[in-house]
Structure 1
Amino acid sequence: MGQAYLLETSFWEIIARGSAVYFAVTILLRLIPKRQIGNIAPNDMIALVIVGSLAADAIMGEANSLMDLLLMVLVILAWDYLFNLAEFYFPRFRKKSEDSPTLLIHNGILLSRNLKKEKLTEEELIAHLRKQGISDPGQVKQAILEVDGEISVIKRVGGAGD
């Protein structure tokens, strides 16, 4: 029973493994189109997925020891917190770590290259417009895929000369 409270894996190996997994998942998620991520910040999602997986290992008895598990959770949460701090205090880091909004419609014209880049079909975009009461892309001044995966729509006010 006392063994569960001792480290079975070296402290530095746990730090290295936790850090490697966190950064690998961070990089992979950066490659996923925005619309797949949804409303949760990517770094927070990484932390939740990894912590959830580690907790599942503990429940199933697959973790080396309780202390190994707790140290790994601490490493993941520490990286998540540090990333959030860095994004808050350093605009240059924020520009690199966060994605930027993508223009999907400009003055009623669908931007096919941007739709393709975000792996969003024209039908999906049109369906989203219908949910906002817009039946024709020509009624849209701008449709923007935001960083959080939501689509913002600005309707055209006047004629074709907007």
Structure 2
Amino acid sequence: MKDFQTFDFHRIFFGDLPYSFLLEILFRTAVMYCYTILLLRLLGKRSMGQLSTLELAIIICFGSAVGDPMMGKDIPILHGIVVITTVALLQIGAEWVINRNKRLEQFMEGRPDCLVKDGMIVLKSLSKNNLSQEDLFRFLRSKDVEQLGQIKDAFFETSGLVSVWCYAKPDIRPGLSILPEEYLSGSTYIAAGKTVSQSGAFSCRNCGYTTNYRAGQHFPVCPQCKERVWSKSHI
């Protein structure tokens, strides 16, 4: 410890090992990389296409187990191979058990949550999954959705993806526009209590509740979520 110096930039950037060890790192990295690719192929496409609890766990375990033998001079490659092989076998075994036990699958993977039902946002599901309205709208825009009236159901899957079921074109109704706020003019926001200037369909800016109001009526508080901001519905 007497020879140790803080901010020894040679040690920080290059280390204390001979430069020839860099060639060993290249060799170690190539071996671990090839073996990891082989194991991932054996695990199958499901593990690559989703990030459920099990898939996230294996990524974390693989990252730690693969990285150490690549750089650690005191960690044999064989030890790393044994670790990631064990992790892969545990993953295969866990999937086999979970796929045959519905209750365990629901506990480990969770359940899909309905985010939109019949053109209205399910606010409890947004809160439960720590999603904002803009997070939801971003997902929906990626599905070529323009307004909530197009949607029959939208589910937040256990993989973190959003599945959207849309109405057939003849059944599409007016609904809340999901354009980003910067593309909406301030005049599109109408506060509760103001008078309806032109008859038509209007949507609650918070939950998407949509109904028709006649000219001369006053905008009420939303009967579904009690919010006070409306906008002209998108058709």
| Match of residue 145, structure 1, among 148, 156, 161 | 156
Determine the structure 2 residue equivalent to 1:107. Answer: 118
Within a 5 Å distance, the mapping from 1:74-153 to structure 2 comes to 74-153=85-164
Listed one character per residue, the Cα deviations across residues 38-74 of structure 1 (whole Å, up to 9, x for unaligned) are 8334313322331232111011116644443333223
- Alpha carbons of 1:65 and 1:143: their partners in 2 closer, same or farther (altered >3 Å)? same
Identity over the aligned pairs, expressed in percent?
Answer: 21
Alignment correspondent of 1:8: none
Question: Which has the higher relative contact order, 1 or 2, with Cα contacts under 8 A spaced 6 or more apart?
Answer: 1
The root-mean-square deviation of aligned C-alpha atoms, in Å, is: 2.3
Radius of gyration: which is bigger? 2
Q: Which amino acid aligns with 1:109?
A: M
Query: 1:58 aligned to 2:69?
Result: yes
Quote the offset at 1:134 in angstroms.
2.0
Amino acid paired to 1:118: N
Q: Which runs of 4+ in 1 moved over 3 A?
A: 62-68
One-letter code aligned to 1:45: L
Q: 1:73 to 1:134 in 2, by over 3 A?
A: closer
Q: Paired residues, what number? A: 123
Residue 74 of structure 1 aligns to which amino acid in structure 2? T
Relative to the length of structure 1, the TM-score reads 0.64
- What TM-score, normalized to structure 2? 0.46
Q: Residue 56 of structure 2 corresponds to which residue in structure 1?
A: 45
Contact 2:68 2:75 in 1 (8 A): no
Tell me how far apart the structure 1 counterparts of residues 74 and 82 of structure 2 sit (CA, whole Å).
Answer: 11
1:62 and 1:104, CA in 2 relative to 1: closer, same or farther beyond 3 A? farther
> 166, 174, 184: which one pairs with 1:155?
166
Structure with greater proportional helix content:
1
Unaligned runs of at least 5 residues, structure 1: 1-37
Q: 2: CA distance between counterparts of 1:131 and 1:44?
A: 24
Q: Distance in 2 between matches of 1:63 and 1:104?
A: 51
Q: Which amino acid is the alignment partner of residue 89 of structure 2?
A: A
Query: Where does the alignment leave 5 or more consecutive residues of structure 2 unmatched?
Result: 1-48, 174-235
